[in-house]
């Protein structure tokens, strides 16, 4: 069975989507629609903006969505997923790709999500870092011993955990983790996503989700909050909201997809981060990328 994966924030890069735009009239059409819906030229930011520009949540989230969604559309009839998953923001890209959200609804929901997150980022001095080479229980235990708020935000693989928190606590946790880890790297994001710092925007995002029309998806989606498959619209909506303040259970998601029959994974969107994680989780499955 063939699973498709959609990347999240942190995979953006200057010039993203430009080659796609240059060679595909369909892509040009969608980029124009995207600019019109957002009320500004996101394509200019993607094609000509700096890494610093694209690090801003209000730009990175719609940019990654557009890149991923448009790529899925250019595949035409070749896009036949048996199941999908998206990493954080990528969950909305996945839902749009399988028809649970139409293009405009998905982009507007992402714009509202990004704007709400950006507000938190501007008020709080927070960030995220990836810890490689330590088991998640060790990372979680050290985070608990730090003064301030820092928590595991993404359980990416057996020995890859992203932590999220206020900068002082994050730095302290990184210093404590560094001696035992293979690497501890700050991520190019502007806030502490999937942490208690997102609590102030939960109600705002809940309203945005409730105002958005969701359809039954064409295939199951495995969501970050629980890592289990669903096609139930109400569960999908609830999981999207819960994802804001809870960790991304990525390793569990991939293991459940494999358990349910996935033998081939294709990542659609910028970068190759997710297929790398799949290979870490289970080397026996096939991985591909369309970027």
Which positions are annotated as active-site residues? 88, 194
**Other beta carbons less than 10 A from residue 14's beta carbon:** 15
221-222: strand order across its sheet: 229-230, 221-222, 83-86, 2-6, 264-268, 286-290
Contact 248, 255 (CB under 8 A): no
Q: How far is CA 220 from the centre of its chain?
A: 18
CB atoms within 10 A of CB 132: 16
CB 275 within 8 A of CB 5: yes
E strands of 81-240, at which residues? 83-86, 126-132, 150-157, 160-166, 183-186, 221-222, 229-230
* Helical (H) or strand (E) element with 147: none
Which positions ≥6 away from 290 have C-beta within 8 Å?
Answer: 71, 75, 266, 267, 268
Rounded CA gap, 43 and 80, in Å? 27
Cβ–Cβ under 8 Å, residues 200 and 154: no
CA atoms of 171 and 113, how far apart (whole Å): 27
């Amino acid at each position: 069975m063939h699973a498709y994966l959609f990347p999240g924030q942190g995979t953006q890069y200057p010039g993203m989507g430009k080659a796609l735009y240059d060679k595909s009239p369909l892509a040009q059409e969608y980029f124009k629609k995207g600019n019109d819906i957002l009320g500004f030229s996101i394509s200019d930011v993607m094609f000509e903006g700096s890494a610093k520009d694209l690090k801003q949540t209000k730009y990175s989230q719609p940019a990654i969505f557009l890149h991923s969604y448009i790529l899925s559309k250019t595949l035409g009839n070749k896009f036949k997923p048996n199941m999908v998953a998206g990493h954080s923001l990528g969950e909305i890209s996945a839902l749009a790709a399988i028809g649970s959200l139409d293009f405009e609804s998905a982009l507007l929901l992402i714009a509202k999500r990004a704007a709400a997150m950006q507000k938190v980022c501007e008020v709080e001095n927070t960030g995220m870092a990836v810890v490689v080479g330590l088991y998640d229980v060790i990372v979680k235990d050290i985070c608990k011993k730090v003064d301030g708020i820092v928590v595991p935000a993404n359980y990416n693989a057996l020995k890859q955990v992203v932590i999220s928190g206020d900068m002082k606590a994050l730095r302290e946790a990184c210093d404590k983790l560094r001696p035992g880890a293979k690497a501890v790297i700050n991520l190019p994001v502007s806030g502490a996503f999937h942490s208690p710092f997102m609590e102030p925007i939960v109600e705002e995002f809940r309203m945005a989700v409730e105002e958005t029309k969701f359809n039954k998806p064409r295939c199951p989606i495995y969501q970050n909050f629980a890592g289990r498959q669903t096609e139930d619209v109400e569960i999908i909506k609830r999981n999207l909201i819960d994802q804001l303040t809870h960790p991304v259970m990525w390793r569990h998601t991939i293991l459940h997809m494999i358990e349910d029959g996935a033998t081939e994974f294709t990542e659609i969107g910028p970068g190759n981060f997710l297929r790398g994680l799949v290979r870490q989780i289970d080397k026996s499955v096939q991985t591909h990328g369309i970027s």
